[in-house]
């Protein structure tokens, strides 16, 4: 398996623009997670899905952020409108296993810079 | 709410010496505990996990971790450090609250620097 695939790897945009980050989880995994990493706040869980259903989105910073998982092989994280404080590395991860015992497999991340 | 504390921002160890990276956690119910490593400009890589059973867990690259329920700790260890072990290490906890697994909560990370 190719692992978790994220795109784009790098995105530079201007404040106010819409940003869409994409993730393809490992086939057969039933959990999908979106994390954000910054120097100041470390790794923050934004939202996670189980069997394509959002389970906990309490980490989503505000209404400008939204995430979808239309099927088992694809998820998006959208920021509209983007702001400079959204600059971070966004990671997608997937795992398998009832009860949460399965380890997370991370993608390489999408580095977002908002000017 | 679940949480993880990594009290050291940085740990310096001479090559060949044993290393320990500390982690304590707080979670409702039985914890699932994990260690991950991150190299520059890369995603996190799984090292090892504790779910149940033996308190000493062995993982990748010669690393091991000891689960201590009374101290709510899960310290990462290696008997002999290599320069290539230098990286950012994250401890993480995941609770299981009835209806399903919670999201994985990470500590702030510890920079491990192995000096030749």
Residues of chain B scoring pLDDT < 70: 96-102
Chain B interface includes A28 (CB < 8 A):
no
- CB B101 to CB A45 under 8 A? no
Residue A85 has pLDDT above 80, yes or no: yes
Of the two residues A52 and B28, the one the predictor is more confident about is A52
What's the confidence (pLDDT) of residue A61?
87
What's the confidence (pLDDT) of residue A102?
76
What's the confidence (pLDDT) of residue A26?
95
Q: Which of A100, A102, A110, A113 to mutate to test the interface with B (most CBs of B within 10 A)?
A: A100
What's the confidence (pLDDT) of residue A98?
57
Which chain A residue has the Cα nearest residue B97?
Answer: A99
Chain B interface includes A100 (CB < 8 A):
yes
Residue A96 has pLDDT above 90, yes or no: no
CA distance B22 to chain A (A): 17
What's the confidence (pLDDT) of residue B95?
74
Contacts of A106 (CB under 8 A, 6+ apart): A4, A91, A92, A93, B36, B43, B44, B45
pLDDT band at A100; cut points 50, 70, 90: low
Compute the average pLDDT of residues A52-68: 92
What's the confidence (pLDDT) of residue A94?
93
- CB B109 to CB A50 under 8 A? no
CA distances from B7 to A52, B10, B34 (A): 36, 9, 16
Query: Locate tokens 């580095």: which residue?
Result: A111
* pLDDT above 70: percentage of residues in chain A: 96
End-to-end CA distance of chain B: 41
Residue A71 has pLDDT above 60, yes or no: yes
Residue A15 has pLDDT above 70, yes or no: yes
């Amino acid at each position: 398996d190719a692992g978790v695939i994220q795109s784009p790897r790098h995105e530079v945009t201007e404040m106010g623009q819409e940003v869409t980050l994409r993730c393809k989880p490992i086939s057969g995994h039933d959990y999908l997670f979106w994390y954000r990493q910054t120097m100041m706040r470390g790794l923050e869980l934004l939202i996670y899905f189980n069997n394509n259903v959002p389970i906990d989105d309490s980490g989503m910073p505000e209404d400008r952020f939204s995430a979808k998982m239309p099927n088992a092989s694809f998820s998006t994280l959208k920021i509209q409108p983007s702001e400079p404080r959204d600059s971070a590395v966004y990671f997608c991860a997937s795992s398998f296993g009832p009860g949460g015992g399965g380890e997370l497999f991370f993608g390489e991340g999408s580095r977002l810079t908002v000017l | 709410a679940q949480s993880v504390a990594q009290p050291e921002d940085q740990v310096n160890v001479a090559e060949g010496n044993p290393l320990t990276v500390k982690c304590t956690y707080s979670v409702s119910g039985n914890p699932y505990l994990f260690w991950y490593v991150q190299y520059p400009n890369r995603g996190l890589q799984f090292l090892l996990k504790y779910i149940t059973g033996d308190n000493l867990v062995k993982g990748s690259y010669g690393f091991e971790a000891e689960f201590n329920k009374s101290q709510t700790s899960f310290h990462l260890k290696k008997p002999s450090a290599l320069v290539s072990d230098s990286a950012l290490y994250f401890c993480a906890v995941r609770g299981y609250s009835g209806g399903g697994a919670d999201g994985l909560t990470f500590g702030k990370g510890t920079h491990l620097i192995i000096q030749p």
